């Protein structure tokens, strides 16, 4: 097991280097001079421009810049944004917000998706199953901003249950609505995945054997059907969590959530190379870690993987 | 009738009256079981015999009311101890299962939940039936149950998971689970079909003594008539959802009344091999040969097939060998645990036009030998000569040509045909690959091949999913013969087939050999089949050939203990046949 983890981490190294290099290169290749852009309509003082360029190493060749950046990463220094704020500080402010939003969204989609999927799977072809299929198809077909606006209108404006946008400090109650919006997309996936997995497992020989032992339906469903069916679902959930953690740009934008997605979007618009690169680097790291965790979690769920040599 | 019999003893423990089971399909209800009657008294054992699709497993599932999907009991009664089960609700059936009826399923690989430990799965059966309460008592009972089922180190293995158990061990666990709540009736649905013969024997012996000790009544389901007769006092023969014959095992075997039963008795390799054995002895003693099956006109007689072979072998013995294997070794590297020697310096020869059987249990290395012969697996050391040519030095064009002279037929007729290609294309593909003839001559050859394997030419445009297992295996054989090979390697080619189909295919193989002077390497785990088809036998155990001799000699005078074990494990050996 330990060997497996080490191998996975070693595999992550080239992925990390490759992606950061690619990101750095793309940001570098973006048209326009970000330093000039900082001054807007004003004509900049050449001395100030030169000083800024030196400060952000923009006067060095590309590859040197990359290694300076890499060196910083390994020293735990993520650099400074053009506005003079350390990137680490921006991250520290935005990540907890996104983490809360992602956790809420995962919670909603997990509870709703698995429940609906399980009932659909156990009652294949009945009214509940068909209705769930219809709802899932509608949700999958709708673009997320449409769902977001409908939610804002119905729950925010007409019913007045939630504030339409997230207020200062991003309190949990304000995050519920964007989390629900985020959850709708994956809800459809998870309920369909759970459904087919439950149908699959229900037909397995060991389920019949469990019944032949005299077990009640109430025990067979959670212990022998649901537990086995959840293996692919949990994998999907974990990957989805990774995706949500790196920010939901559109939803965060619509609900004005001060999270990773919105901050990154703004940094890209402003051409803030250091912020973009550092943000994306952290995202890549998170994604890699989540993926390794998914694999390990898989082993927890399935003993065949746990004990395989 | 002994004195002191109570009323309880006189009432059958299980009485199935006019049972009807239907499956709802798109084309209406299909009857799978149609008017089955079974009466089984306490402490007796009864076997339901039939080929796949005969409704024997469906009957078993109906009795415990666990029919799959769209299956439904549409008529009749199932009386367990006088109580009608068909009238019981699902909730009430949960009470009956476990304590009333125990169930041992067919496939040990798929009947244990892979994500729960063995201990957990046995313990839940004990808890559900209220056999013991409290963690310690339940655990103690679980260990006891597993030990009874033949798992000696049960306490140590309770925490292990199904995939860490061998097939035989898993089947013991399933038997333990079936008996965990001391049921009145135990239904064992082909409990050993997926296992090696020697393991099968040990497990069945164990099951027999267990049920005897516990006083459990046994309902046994199998496709093997010899096995059924050996293990059960009563037989019920099923065919197409109906009972065609029932009564005492010995009587049915010695004097089958229904034509179907007669065919089954004639075709069962386990019985046929004994009959051949008997005829060999009888000839030596110049006593009239036994023909138990003369009563049935259209009987597929394996005996005559085997007799015809004897002459051919005589002629072939002084030709040069088609295959020579010398010191063949295959070592697999396993990460973490060093090397595994699958095949350990084996040597044998096969004379042209003869059949050599490679016999062994799973894991003995016999299929690895086949793969190396076909050059689908590299040789670690040793030599393979095919028609005098060293296989190792044959590459490229030469190898391509060699492949046309050496063709395989594999075990699973469902997996070895591409479902997206029609039969004509499947059989014609080797011709096309090797660029034989024109489109028209290839087509003619395909029709000729279909005729050779006794299939109608109308099949050319059909697809594999429209054919039965036996038909598919014929297609696989036709494909192997397309290039007029000299050597055919048959890797468990009849193991997946029902006895009657198996007999047909074996006969076909024998006829084709006589007609085309083919050399067969016949790989199997079933010694009974070997008796019917092979001239020479190599018995493999753990990668080594432990015994190699002509078939008659191996059967008459086995030298190795392992061979004797294999022979003893052929079911039906103890049954008196008609003479």
Q: In this predicted structure, what is the pLDDT of residue B155? A: 84
Average pLDDT score, chain B: 82
Q: Which residue has the tokens 């209800």?
A: B29
- Greater confidence (B4 vs A134) lies with A134
Are residues B319 and B351 in contact, defined by beta-carbon separation less than 8 angstroms? yes
Q: Is residue A282 part of a domain?
A: no
Residue B559 pLDDT exceeds 90 = no
Judge if A24 and A116 occupy the same domain.
no
Are residues A95 and A50 in contact, defined by beta-carbon separation less than 8 angstroms? no
- Greater confidence (B199 vs B252) lies with B252
Among A46, A73, A100, the domain-final residue is: A73
Q: In this predicted structure, what is the pLDDT of residue B316? A: 58
> Which of A222-226, B228-232, B495-499 has the lowest average pLDDT?
B495-499
What is the spatial distance between Cα A7 and Cα A9, in angstroms, rounded to a whole number?
5
Mean pLDDT of B50-60: 85
What is the spatial distance between Cα B554 and Cα B377, in angstroms, rounded to a whole number?
30
Judge if A168 and A103 occupy the same domain.
yes
Question: pLDDT-derived band of residue A308, with 50, 70 and 90 as boundaries?
Answer: low
| Closest chain A residue to the Cα of B116, Cα to Cα | A303
Q: Which among A203, A214, A228 has the least Cβ separation from residue B98?
A: A214
What is the spatial distance between Cα A254 and Cα A101, in angstroms, rounded to a whole number?
14
Judge if A187 and A245 occupy the same domain.
yes
Q: In this predicted structure, what is the pLDDT of residue B335? A: 63
Residues 6+ apart with CB under 8 A from A110: A190, A237
Residue A193 pLDDT exceeds 90 = yes
Q: Is residue A285 part of a domain?
A: no
Judge if A24 and A127 occupy the same domain.
no
User: Mapping DSSP to helix (H, G, I), strand (E, B) and coil, where does residue B251 land?
Assistant: helix
Residue B459 pLDDT exceeds 80 = yes
Mean pLDDT of A226-252: 83
Short-list B210, B201, B167, CA closest to B572: B201
Q: In this predicted structure, what is the pLDDT of residue A32? A: 66
What is the spatial distance between Cα B234 and Cα A132, in angstroms, rounded to a whole number?
52
Q: Does domain B12-248 have CATH number 3.20.20.140?
A: no
> Which of A45-49, A105-109, B204-208 has the lowest average pLDDT?
A45-49
* Most confident residue range from A44-48, A52-56, B210-214, B278-282: B210-214
Residues 6+ apart with CB under 8 A from B325: B346, B347, B348, B349, B369, B373, B382, B383, B384, B385
Residues of A in contact with B103 (CB under 8 A): 209, 212-213
Q: In this predicted structure, what is the pLDDT of residue B2? A: 44
DSSP B104-154: E-S-TTTSS-TTS-HHHHHHHHHHHTTS--SHHHHHHHHHHHHHHTT-TTH
Q: Is residue A227 part of a domain?
A: yes
Establish, for the pair of chains A and B, how many residue pairs have beta carbons separated by less than 8 Å: 98
Please state the domain extents for chain B. 12-248, 312-421+483-568
Q: Is residue A190 part of a domain?
A: yes
Short-list B574, B530, B570, B536, CA closest to B553: B536
- Residue count of chain A, please give it: 309
Judge if A131 and A240 occupy the same domain.
yes
Q: In this predicted structure, what is the pLDDT of residue B19? A: 92
Distances (CA, A) of B140 to A1, B103, B182: 32, 22, 16
* ipTM here: 0.75
Residues of B in contact with A303 (CB under 8 A): 114-115, 117, 161, 163
C-alpha dihedral sign at A108, A109, A112, A115? negative
What is the spatial distance between Cα B137 and Cα B159, in angstroms, rounded to a whole number?
17
Judge if A49 and A103 occupy the same domain.
no
Residues of B in contact with A204 (CB under 8 A): 110
What is the spatial distance between Cα B76 and Cα B106, in angstroms, rounded to a whole number?
26
Distance from the Cα of A163 to chain B's closest Cα (Å) equals: 45
Q: pLDDT per residue over A126-177, tens digit each?
A: 999 999 999 988 988 888 888 888 888 888 888 888 887 777 777 778 888 8
Cβ of A216 and B128 within 8 Å?
A: yes
Cβ of A219 and B68 within 8 Å?
A: no
Q: In this predicted structure, what is the pLDDT of residue B5? A: 46
| Closest chain A residue to the Cα of B124, Cα to Cα | A215
Mean pLDDT of A263-288: 80
Q: Is residue A81 part of a domain?
A: no
Cβ of B105 and A215 within 8 Å?
A: no
What is the spatial distance between Cα A202 and Cα A224, in angstroms, rounded to a whole number?
9
Q: pLDDT per residue over B84-128, tens digit each?
A: 999 988 889 998 998 899 999 888 888 999 889 999 999 999 998
User: Mapping DSSP to helix (H, G, I), strand (E, B) and coil, where does residue B76 land?
Assistant: strand
Average pLDDT score, chain A: 83
Residues of B in contact with A216 (CB under 8 A): 91, 94, 128
Q: Long-range contact list for B165-168, CB < 8 A, 24+ apart?
A: B165/B118, B167/B108, B167/B109, B167/B194, B167/B195, B167/B196, B167/B199, B167/B362, B168/B108, B168/B195, B168/B196, B168/B199, B168/B202, B168/B203
Distances (CA, A) of B70 to A214, A229, B372: 21, 22, 46
Structure tokens at B59: 């009957």
- Greater confidence (B139 vs B571) lies with B139
| Closest chain B residue to the Cα of A216, Cα to Cα | B94
Distance from the Cα of A238 to chain B's closest Cα (Å) equals: 20
Q: In this predicted structure, what is the pLDDT of residue B304? A: 61
Structure tokens at A136: 């899932």
Q: In this predicted structure, what is the pLDDT of residue B488? A: 92
Q: Is residue A308 part of a domain?
A: no
Domain count, chain A: 2
What is the spatial distance between Cα B228 and Cα B236, in angstroms, rounded to a whole number?
10
Q: In this predicted structure, what is the pLDDT of residue A289? A: 83
Cβ of B94 and A304 within 8 Å?
A: no
Residue A235 pLDDT exceeds 50 = yes
Q: Is residue A296 part of a domain?
A: no
What is the spatial distance between Cα B207 and Cα B216, in angstroms, rounded to a whole number?
10
Residue A230 pLDDT exceeds 80 = yes
Residues of B in contact with A213 (CB under 8 A): 97-98, 103, 124-125, 128-129, 177-178, 180-181
Q: pLDDT per residue over B275-310, tens digit each?
A: 555 555 544 433 333 344 333 333 445 556 666 666
Taking the CA atoms of residue B299, residue B304, residue B305 and residue B311 in that order, the dihedral angle to the nearest 10 degrees is -170
Q: What range defines the domain where residue A28 resides?
A: 2-73
Cβ of A211 and B180 within 8 Å?
A: no
DSSP A114-163: HHHHHHHHHTTTSHHHHHHHHHHHHHHHS-HHHHHHHHIIIIIIIS-SS-
Q: In this predicted structure, what is the pLDDT of residue B120? A: 92
Mean pLDDT of B392-402: 84
Distance from the Cα of A124 to chain B's closest Cα (Å) equals: 11
Residues of B in contact with A309 (CB under 8 A): 335-337
Mean pLDDT of A53-63: 74
Residue to mutate among A122, A197, A213, with most B CBs inside 10 A, is A213
- Greater confidence (B557 vs B196) lies with B557
Superfamily of domain B312-421+483-568: P-loop containing nucleotide triphosphate hydrolases (3.40.50.300)
What is the spatial distance between Cα B245 and Cα B252, in angstroms, rounded to a whole number?
8
Q: Does A299 touch chain B (CB under 8 A)?
A: no
- Greater confidence (A269 vs B124) lies with B124
Q: Which among A204, A215, A301 has the least Cβ separation from residue B110?
A: A204
Judge if A42 and A138 occupy the same domain.
no
Judge if A11 and A63 occupy the same domain.
yes
Radius of gyration of chain A (CA): 24
Question: pLDDT-derived band of residue A280, with 50, 70 and 90 as boundaries?
Answer: confident
Q: Is residue A276 part of a domain?
A: no
Residues 6+ apart with CB under 8 A from A126: none
User: Mapping DSSP to helix (H, G, I), strand (E, B) and coil, where does residue B490 land?
Assistant: strand
Distances (CA, A) of B3 to B6, B9, B197: 9, 11, 41
Question: pLDDT-derived band of residue B199, with 50, 70 and 90 as boundaries?
Answer: confident
Q: In this predicted structure, what is the pLDDT of residue A1? A: 62
Mean pLDDT of B44-53: 86
Judge if A59 and A149 occupy the same domain.
no
What is the spatial distance between Cα B509 and Cα B564, in angstroms, rounded to a whole number?
27
Chain B residues with CB within 8 Å of chain A CB? 61, 64, 66, 68-69, 90-91, 94-99, 101-103, 105-107, 110-117, 124-125, 128-129, 161, 163-164, 174, 177-178, 180-181, 335-337
Q: In this predicted structure, what is the pLDDT of residue B489? A: 93
């Amino acid at each position: 097991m330990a060997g497996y983890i080490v191998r996975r981490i070693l595999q992550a190294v080239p992925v990390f280097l490759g992606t950061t290099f690619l990101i750095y290169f793309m940001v570098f290749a973006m048209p326009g001079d970000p330093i000039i852009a900082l001054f807007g309509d004003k004509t900049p003082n050449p001395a100030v421009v030169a000083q800024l360029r030196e400060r952000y190493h923009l006067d060095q060749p590309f590859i040197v810049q990359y290694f300076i950046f890499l060196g910083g990463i390994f020293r735990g220094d993520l650099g400074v944004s053009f506005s003079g704020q350390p990137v680490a500080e921006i991250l520290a402010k935005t990540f907890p917000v996104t983490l809360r939003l992602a956790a809420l969204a995962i919670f909603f989609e997990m509870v709703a998706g698995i429940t609906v999927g399980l009932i659909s799977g156990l009652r294949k072809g009945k009214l509940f199953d068909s209705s769930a299929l219809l709802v899932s198809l509608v949700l999958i077909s709708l673009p997320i901003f449409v769902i977001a606006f409908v939610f804002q209108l119905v729950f925010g404006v007409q019913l007045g249950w939630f504030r339409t946008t997230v207020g200062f400090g991003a309190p949990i109650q304000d995050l519920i609505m964007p989390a629900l919006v985020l959850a709708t997309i994956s809800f459809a996936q998870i309920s369909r995945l759970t459904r087919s997995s439950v149908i699959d497992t229900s037909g397995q020989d060991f389920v019949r054997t469990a019944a032949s032992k005299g077990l009640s339906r109430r025990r067979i469903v959670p212990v022998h059907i649901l537990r086995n069916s959840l293996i692919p679902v949990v994998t999907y959930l974990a990957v989805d969590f990774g995706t949500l953690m790196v920010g939901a740009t559109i939803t965060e934008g619509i609900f004005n959530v001060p999270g990773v997605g919105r901050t990154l979007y703004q940094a890209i618009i402003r051409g803030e190379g250091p912020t973009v690169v550092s943000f994306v680097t952290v995202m890549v790291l998170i994604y890699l870690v989540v993926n390794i965790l998914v694999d390990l979690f898989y082993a927890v769920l399935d003993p065949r993987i746990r004990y395989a040599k | 009738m002994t004195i002191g019999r109570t009323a309880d003893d006189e009432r059958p423990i299980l009485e199935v009256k006019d049972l009807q089971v239907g499956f709802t399909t798109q084309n209406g209800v299909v009857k799978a079981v149609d008017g089955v009657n079974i009466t089984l008294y306490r402490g007796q054992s009864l076997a339901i015999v039939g080929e796949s699709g005969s409704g024997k497993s469906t009957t078993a599932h109906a009795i415990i009311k666990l029919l799959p999907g769209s299956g439904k009991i549409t008529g009749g009664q199932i009386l367990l101890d006088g109580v009608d089960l068909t009238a019981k609700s699902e909730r009430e059936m949960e009470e009956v299962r476990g304590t009333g009826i125990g169930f041992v399923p067919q496939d040990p690989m798929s009947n244990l939940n892979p994500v729960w430990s063995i201990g957990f799965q046995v313990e839940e059966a004990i808890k559900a039936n209220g056999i013991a309460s409290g963690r310690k008592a339940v655990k103690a009972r679980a260990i006891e149950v597993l030990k009874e089922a033949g798992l000696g180190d049960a306490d140590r293995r309770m925490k292990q998971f199904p995939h860490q158990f061998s097939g035989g061990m898993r089947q013991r666990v399933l038997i333990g689970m079936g008996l965990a709540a001391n049921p009145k009736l135990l239904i064992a649905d082909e409990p050993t079909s997926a296992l090696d013969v020697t393991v099968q024997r040990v497990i069945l012996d164990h099951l027999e003594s267990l049920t005897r000790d516990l006083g459990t009544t046994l309902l046994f389901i199998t496709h093997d008539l010899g096995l059924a007769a050996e293990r059960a006092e009563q037989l019920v023969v099923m065919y197409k959802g109906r009972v065609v014959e029932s009564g005492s095992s010995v009587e049915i075997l010695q004097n089958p009344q229904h034509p179907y039963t007669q065919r089954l008795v004639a075709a069962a390799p386990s019985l046929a091999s004994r009959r051949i054995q008997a005829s060999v002895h009888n000839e030596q003693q110049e006593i009239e040969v036994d023909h138990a099956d003369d009563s049935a006109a259209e009987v597929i007689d394996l005996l005559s097939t085997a007799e015809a072979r004897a002459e051919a072998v005589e002629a072939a013995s002084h030709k040069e060998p088609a295959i020579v294997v010398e010191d063949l070794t295959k070592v697999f590297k396993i990460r973490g645990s060093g090397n595994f020697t699958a095949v350990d310096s084996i040597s044998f020869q096969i004379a042209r036009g003869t059949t050599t059987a490679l016999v062994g249990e799973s894991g003995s290395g016999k299929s690895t030998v086949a793969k190396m012969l076909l050059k689908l697996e590299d040789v670690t050391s040793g030599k393979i000569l095919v028609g005098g040519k060293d296989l190792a030095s044959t590459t490229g064009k030469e190898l391509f040509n060699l492949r046309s002279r050496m063709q395989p037929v594999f075990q699973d007729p469902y997996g070895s045909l591409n479902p997206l290609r029609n039969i004509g294309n499947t059989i014609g593909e080797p011709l096309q690959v090797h660029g034989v003839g024109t489109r028209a001559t290839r087509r003619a050859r395909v029709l000729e091949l279909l005729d050779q394997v006794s299939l109608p030419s109308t099949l050319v445009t059909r697809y594999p999913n429209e054919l039965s297992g036996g038909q598919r295996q014929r297609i696989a054989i036709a494909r192997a013969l397309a290039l007029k090979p000299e050597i055919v390697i048959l890797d468990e080619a009849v193991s997946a087939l029902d006895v009657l189909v198996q007999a047909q295919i074996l006969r076909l193989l024998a006829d084709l050999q006589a007609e085309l002077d083919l050399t067969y390497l016949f790989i199997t785990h079933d010694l009974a089949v070997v008796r019917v088809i092979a001239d020479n036998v190599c018995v493999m155990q753990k990668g080594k050939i432990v015994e190699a001799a002509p078939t008659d000699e191996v059967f008459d005078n086995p030298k190795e203990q392992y061979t004797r074990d294999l022979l003893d494990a052929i079911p039906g050996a103890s049954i008196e046949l008609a003479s």
